[in-house]
Protein backbone atom coordinates (compact mmCIF):
# COMPACT_ATOMS: atom_id res chain seq x y z
CA UNK A 1 0.00 0.00 0.00
CA UNK A 2 1.03 3.59 -0.41
CA UNK A 3 3.17 4.61 2.53
CA UNK A 4 1.90 8.17 2.50
CA UNK A 5 -1.48 9.80 2.88
CA UNK A 6 -3.89 10.87 0.20
CA UNK A 7 -2.63 14.46 0.25
CA UNK A 8 1.03 13.56 -0.22
CA UNK A 9 2.71 14.62 -3.44
CA UNK A 10 3.20 11.83 -5.96
CA UNK A 11 6.74 10.66 -6.74
CA UNK A 12 5.75 10.49 -10.38
CA UNK A 13 3.16 12.59 -12.16
CA UNK A 14 2.29 11.90 -15.78
CA UNK A 15 -0.01 14.69 -16.95
CA UNK A 16 -1.83 14.59 -20.28
CA UNK A 17 1.08 13.04 -22.13
CA UNK A 18 0.89 12.66 -25.90
CA UNK A 19 3.30 10.84 -28.16
CA UNK A 20 3.14 9.93 -31.83
CA UNK A 21 5.51 8.04 -34.12
CA UNK A 22 5.41 9.25 -37.72
CA UNK A 23 2.03 10.84 -37.17
CA UNK A 24 0.60 7.68 -35.61
CA UNK A 25 -0.62 8.13 -32.03
CA UNK A 26 1.06 5.94 -29.40
CA UNK A 27 -0.12 7.90 -26.35
CA UNK A 28 -3.25 9.99 -26.75
CA UNK A 29 -3.68 11.77 -23.41
CA UNK A 30 -2.25 9.72 -20.59
CA UNK A 31 -2.30 10.85 -16.97
CA UNK A 32 -1.06 8.82 -14.05
CA UNK A 33 0.15 9.59 -10.52
CA UNK A 34 2.34 7.18 -8.60
CA UNK A 35 2.85 7.70 -4.88
CA UNK A 36 5.67 6.59 -2.64
CA UNK A 37 5.63 2.83 -2.06
CA UNK A 38 2.92 2.22 -4.64
CA UNK A 39 3.02 -0.64 -7.14
CA UNK A 40 1.15 0.21 -10.32
CA UNK A 41 0.66 -2.59 -12.85
CA UNK A 42 -0.01 -1.55 -16.44
CA UNK A 43 -2.10 -3.99 -18.48
CA UNK A 44 -3.19 -3.84 -22.08
CA UNK A 45 -2.99 -5.53 -25.46
CA UNK A 46 0.10 -5.38 -27.65
CA UNK A 47 0.48 -1.96 -29.25
CA UNK A 48 -1.60 -0.15 -26.62
CA UNK A 49 1.28 2.14 -25.62
CA UNK A 50 2.55 0.47 -22.42
CA UNK A 51 6.21 0.46 -23.41
CA UNK A 52 5.98 3.95 -24.86
CA UNK A 53 4.54 5.20 -21.57
CA UNK A 54 7.38 3.93 -19.42
CA UNK A 55 10.00 4.81 -22.05
CA UNK A 56 8.68 8.38 -21.96
CA UNK A 57 8.85 8.36 -18.16
CA UNK A 58 12.45 7.13 -18.36
CA UNK A 59 13.23 9.83 -20.94
CA UNK A 60 14.14 7.33 -23.64
CA UNK A 61 11.41 8.72 -25.89
CA UNK A 62 10.61 12.44 -26.01
CA UNK A 63 6.98 13.42 -25.44
CA UNK A 64 5.01 15.58 -27.88
CA UNK A 65 2.67 17.12 -25.31
CA UNK A 66 1.77 17.10 -21.64
CA UNK A 67 4.36 16.83 -18.90
CA UNK A 68 6.09 14.33 -16.64
CA UNK A 69 7.30 15.25 -13.15
CA UNK A 70 9.55 13.29 -10.82
CA UNK A 71 9.34 14.51 -7.23
CA UNK A 72 7.78 17.68 -8.60
CA UNK A 73 10.58 18.34 -11.09
CA UNK A 74 9.65 18.65 -14.75
CA UNK A 75 11.51 16.00 -16.77
CA UNK A 76 13.16 16.62 -20.11
CA UNK A 77 12.30 20.31 -20.34
CA UNK A 78 12.89 23.60 -18.60
CA UNK A 79 10.64 26.61 -18.46
CA UNK A 80 12.12 29.55 -20.35
CA UNK A 81 10.39 32.90 -20.89
CA UNK A 82 6.99 31.35 -20.51
CA UNK A 83 7.81 28.56 -22.96
CA UNK A 84 9.36 25.13 -22.69
CA UNK A 85 12.80 24.23 -23.92
CA UNK A 86 14.11 20.68 -24.24
CA UNK A 87 17.00 19.86 -21.92
CA UNK A 88 20.30 18.68 -23.37
CA UNK A 89 21.37 15.02 -23.18
CA UNK A 90 23.53 15.51 -20.12
CA UNK A 91 20.85 17.12 -18.02
CA UNK A 92 18.38 14.45 -19.12
CA UNK A 93 20.92 11.81 -18.09
CA UNK A 94 21.15 13.39 -14.63
CA UNK A 95 17.36 13.27 -14.27
CA UNK A 96 17.28 9.68 -15.50
CA UNK A 97 19.66 8.59 -12.73
CA UNK A 98 16.84 8.88 -10.21
CA UNK A 99 14.92 6.09 -11.97
CA UNK A 100 15.79 2.60 -13.14
CA UNK A 101 14.27 0.49 -15.86
CA UNK A 102 14.21 -3.28 -16.28
CA UNK A 103 13.75 -4.44 -19.87
CA UNK A 104 12.23 -7.57 -21.36
CA UNK A 105 15.64 -8.52 -22.83
CA UNK A 106 17.65 -7.82 -19.63
CA UNK A 107 20.20 -5.68 -21.53
CA UNK A 108 23.17 -6.70 -19.38
CA UNK A 109 26.57 -5.70 -20.71
CA UNK A 110 27.93 -8.98 -22.12
CA UNK A 111 31.65 -8.35 -21.57
CA UNK A 112 31.20 -7.24 -17.95
CA UNK A 113 30.96 -9.71 -15.09
CA UNK A 114 27.73 -9.94 -13.14
CA UNK A 115 29.35 -7.90 -10.37
CA UNK A 116 30.53 -5.17 -12.71
CA UNK A 117 27.12 -4.99 -14.37
CA UNK A 118 25.70 -4.14 -10.94
CA UNK A 119 28.47 -1.75 -9.82
CA UNK A 120 28.96 0.19 -13.05
CA UNK A 121 26.17 2.75 -12.65
CA UNK A 122 26.75 3.37 -8.92
CA UNK A 123 30.47 3.87 -9.62
CA UNK A 124 30.31 5.91 -12.82
CA UNK A 125 27.09 7.87 -12.50
CA UNK A 126 26.78 8.10 -8.74
CA UNK A 127 30.49 8.34 -7.81
CA UNK A 128 30.33 5.53 -5.28
CA UNK A 129 33.78 4.24 -4.26
CA UNK A 130 34.53 0.82 -5.74
CA UNK A 131 34.72 -1.12 -2.46
CA UNK A 132 31.45 0.42 -1.34
CA UNK A 133 29.67 -0.30 -4.61
CA UNK A 134 30.95 -3.88 -4.62
CA UNK A 135 29.86 -4.58 -1.08
CA UNK A 136 26.42 -3.21 -1.90
CA UNK A 137 26.26 -5.21 -5.12
CA UNK A 138 27.17 -8.46 -3.38
CA UNK A 139 24.40 -7.88 -0.86
CA UNK A 140 21.93 -7.22 -3.68
CA UNK A 141 23.12 -10.29 -5.57
CA UNK A 142 22.63 -12.28 -2.39
CA UNK A 143 19.05 -11.04 -2.19
CA UNK A 144 18.33 -12.19 -5.74
CA UNK A 145 20.04 -15.54 -5.01
CA UNK A 146 23.08 -15.00 -7.24
CA UNK A 147 25.95 -13.97 -4.98
CA UNK A 148 27.98 -17.00 -6.00
CA UNK A 149 27.67 -16.00 -9.68
CA UNK A 150 29.22 -12.54 -9.15
CA UNK A 151 32.31 -13.32 -11.22
CA UNK A 152 30.51 -15.06 -14.06
CA UNK A 153 29.51 -13.41 -17.33
CA UNK A 154 25.89 -12.92 -18.41
CA UNK A 155 26.10 -15.63 -21.12
CA UNK A 156 26.85 -18.22 -18.41
CA UNK A 157 23.50 -17.49 -16.75
CA UNK A 158 19.95 -18.54 -17.62
CA UNK A 159 17.52 -15.85 -18.78
CA UNK A 160 15.86 -15.83 -15.38
CA UNK A 161 19.20 -15.39 -13.64
CA UNK A 162 20.18 -12.60 -16.03
CA UNK A 163 16.92 -10.83 -15.30
CA UNK A 164 17.54 -11.10 -11.56
CA UNK A 165 20.97 -9.53 -12.12
CA UNK A 166 19.27 -6.78 -14.13
CA UNK A 167 16.94 -6.14 -11.20
CA UNK A 168 19.88 -6.01 -8.78
CA UNK A 169 21.54 -3.54 -11.14
CA UNK A 170 18.39 -1.44 -11.29
CA UNK A 171 18.12 -1.30 -7.49
CA UNK A 172 21.84 -0.58 -6.96
CA UNK A 173 21.44 3.10 -7.80
CA UNK A 174 18.70 3.46 -5.15
CA UNK A 175 16.14 4.83 -7.59
CA UNK A 176 13.05 6.75 -6.55
CA UNK A 177 11.03 4.55 -8.89
CA UNK A 178 11.60 1.27 -10.71
CA UNK A 179 10.10 0.75 -14.17
CA UNK A 180 9.58 -2.79 -15.49
CA UNK A 181 8.68 -3.51 -19.12
CA UNK A 182 7.39 -7.10 -19.38
CA UNK A 183 10.30 -8.42 -17.30
CA UNK A 184 9.25 -12.06 -17.59
CA UNK A 185 7.93 -12.16 -21.17
CA UNK A 186 11.20 -13.43 -22.67
CA UNK A 187 11.67 -16.19 -20.09
CA UNK A 188 10.94 -19.88 -20.20
CA UNK A 189 7.89 -20.50 -18.00
CA UNK A 190 9.85 -22.36 -15.33
CA UNK A 191 12.12 -19.33 -14.82
CA UNK A 192 9.34 -16.77 -14.36
CA UNK A 193 8.57 -17.56 -10.73
CA UNK A 194 12.01 -16.64 -9.33
CA UNK A 195 11.93 -13.26 -11.08
CA UNK A 196 8.41 -12.50 -9.85
CA UNK A 197 9.48 -13.51 -6.33
CA UNK A 198 12.27 -10.91 -6.42
CA UNK A 199 9.80 -8.27 -7.59
CA UNK A 200 7.33 -9.28 -4.88
CA UNK A 201 10.11 -8.83 -2.32
CA UNK A 202 10.89 -5.34 -3.58
CA UNK A 203 7.23 -4.40 -3.45
CA UNK A 204 6.99 -5.69 0.13
CA UNK A 205 9.95 -3.50 1.10
CA UNK A 206 8.09 -0.45 -0.15
CA UNK A 207 9.82 0.11 -3.48
CA UNK A 208 7.82 2.36 -5.78
CA UNK A 209 7.25 0.52 -9.06
CA UNK A 210 5.46 0.62 -12.39
CA UNK A 211 5.22 -2.87 -13.85
CA UNK A 212 4.06 -3.64 -17.37
CA UNK A 213 3.17 -7.33 -17.33
CA UNK A 214 0.75 -9.96 -18.53
CA UNK A 215 1.20 -11.92 -15.28
CA UNK A 216 -2.34 -11.56 -13.99
CA UNK A 217 -1.81 -13.43 -10.71
CA UNK A 218 1.10 -11.12 -9.92
CA UNK A 219 -0.99 -8.06 -10.79
CA UNK A 220 -3.83 -9.20 -8.55
CA UNK A 221 -1.62 -10.02 -5.64
CA UNK A 222 1.03 -7.27 -5.71
CA UNK A 223 -0.50 -4.22 -7.41
CA UNK A 224 -1.95 -1.41 -5.35
CA UNK A 225 -3.47 -0.16 -8.57
CA UNK A 226 -3.91 -1.51 -12.08
CA UNK A 227 -4.10 0.61 -15.19
CA UNK A 228 -5.65 -0.85 -18.33
CA UNK A 229 -4.53 0.78 -21.57
CA UNK A 230 -5.83 0.48 -25.08
CA UNK A 231 -4.95 2.46 -28.20
CA UNK A 232 -2.78 4.92 -26.30
CA UNK A 233 -5.32 5.69 -23.59
CA UNK A 234 -5.96 4.67 -20.02
CA UNK A 235 -9.34 2.97 -20.32
CA UNK A 236 -9.77 1.91 -16.69
CA UNK A 237 -7.74 2.12 -13.53
CA UNK A 238 -8.29 1.10 -9.94
CA UNK A 239 -7.50 -1.48 -7.27
CA UNK A 240 -6.91 -4.89 -8.90
CA UNK A 241 -9.82 -6.53 -7.09
CA UNK A 242 -12.19 -3.96 -8.54
CA UNK A 243 -10.82 -4.16 -12.06
CA UNK A 244 -10.59 -7.93 -12.21
CA UNK A 245 -13.92 -8.76 -10.64
CA UNK A 246 -15.89 -5.84 -11.95
CA UNK A 247 -14.53 -4.48 -15.25
CA UNK A 248 -16.62 -1.54 -16.37
CA UNK A 249 -15.78 -1.69 -20.07
CA UNK A 250 -16.32 -4.43 -22.60
CA UNK A 251 -12.71 -3.91 -23.74
CA UNK A 252 -11.26 -4.78 -20.33
CA UNK A 253 -13.72 -7.66 -19.93
CA UNK A 254 -12.58 -9.18 -23.21
CA UNK A 255 -8.89 -8.55 -22.42
CA UNK A 256 -9.27 -10.34 -19.08
CA UNK A 257 -11.06 -13.29 -20.64
CA UNK A 258 -8.12 -13.71 -23.01
CA UNK A 259 -5.49 -13.46 -20.25
CA UNK A 260 -6.90 -15.48 -17.38
P1 LIG B 1 2.90 -1.96 -26.13
O2 LIG B 1 4.13 -1.86 -25.30
O3 LIG B 1 1.64 -1.75 -25.35
O4 LIG B 1 2.84 -3.23 -26.92
P5 LIG B 1 4.11 0.21 -27.64
O6 LIG B 1 4.23 1.30 -26.66
O7 LIG B 1 5.33 -0.58 -27.93
O8 LIG B 1 2.91 -0.76 -27.18
O9 LIG B 1 3.57 0.77 -29.00
C10 LIG B 1 2.49 1.67 -29.11
C11 LIG B 1 2.35 2.09 -30.55
O12 LIG B 1 3.49 2.88 -30.93
C13 LIG B 1 2.30 0.92 -31.53
O14 LIG B 1 1.44 1.28 -32.57
C15 LIG B 1 3.73 0.83 -32.00
O16 LIG B 1 3.78 0.27 -33.28
C17 LIG B 1 4.17 2.27 -32.01
N18 LIG B 1 5.61 2.44 -31.76
C19 LIG B 1 6.24 2.19 -30.59
N20 LIG B 1 7.55 2.47 -30.69
C21 LIG B 1 7.76 2.92 -31.95
C22 LIG B 1 8.91 3.39 -32.67
N23 LIG B 1 10.12 3.47 -32.10
N24 LIG B 1 8.72 3.78 -33.95
C25 LIG B 1 7.51 3.73 -34.55
N26 LIG B 1 6.40 3.31 -33.91
C27 LIG B 1 6.51 2.90 -32.64
MG1 LIG C 1 5.64 -3.26 -24.98
pLDDT at site 1: 47
Query: pTM higher than 0.90, yes or no?
Result: yes
User: Is the complex ipTM more than 0.95?
Assistant: yes
Supply the residue whose CA is at minimum distance from atom 15 of ligand 1: 47
Distance in angstroms (rounded) separating the CA atoms of residues 236 and 213: 16
d(CA 242, CA 58): 29
- How many angstroms separate the Cα of 8 from the Cα of each of 3, 40, 202, 240? 10, 17, 22, 22
pLDDT at 82: 82
Say how many Å lie between the CA of residue 54 and the centre of ligand 2: 9
Give pLDDT, residue 6. 54
What are the strands of the beta sheet with 12-21, ordered from one edge? 24-34, 12-21, 65-70, 73-74
Kindly report the protein residue whose alpha carbon is nearest to atom 25 of ligand 1: 21
Domain boundaries along the sequence of the chain: 109-174
Burial of 105 (0-12, 13-18, 19+ CB in 10 A): middle
Residue of 23, 49, 55, 230 with the most ligand 1 atoms within 8 Å of its CB, for mutation: 49
**Per-residue pLDDT of the chain in tens (260 residues, 90 and over written 9):** 445 455 689 999 999 999 999 999 999 999 999 999 999 999 999 999 999 999 999 999 999 999 999 999 999 999 888 888 999 999 999 999 999 999 999 999 999 999 999 999 999 888 899 999 999 999 999 999 999 999 999 999 999 999 999 999 999 999 999 999 999 999 999 999 999 999 999 999 999 999 999 999 999 999 999 999 999 999 999 999 999 999 999 999 999 999 87
Amino acid sequence: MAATGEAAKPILRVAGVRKAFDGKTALADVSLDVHEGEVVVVLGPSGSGKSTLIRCVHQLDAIDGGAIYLDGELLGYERRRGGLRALGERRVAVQRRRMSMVFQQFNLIPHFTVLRNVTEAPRRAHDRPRADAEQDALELLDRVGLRERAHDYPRQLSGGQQQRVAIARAVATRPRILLFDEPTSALDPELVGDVLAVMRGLAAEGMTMIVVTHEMAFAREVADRCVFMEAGRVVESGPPDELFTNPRTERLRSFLSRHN
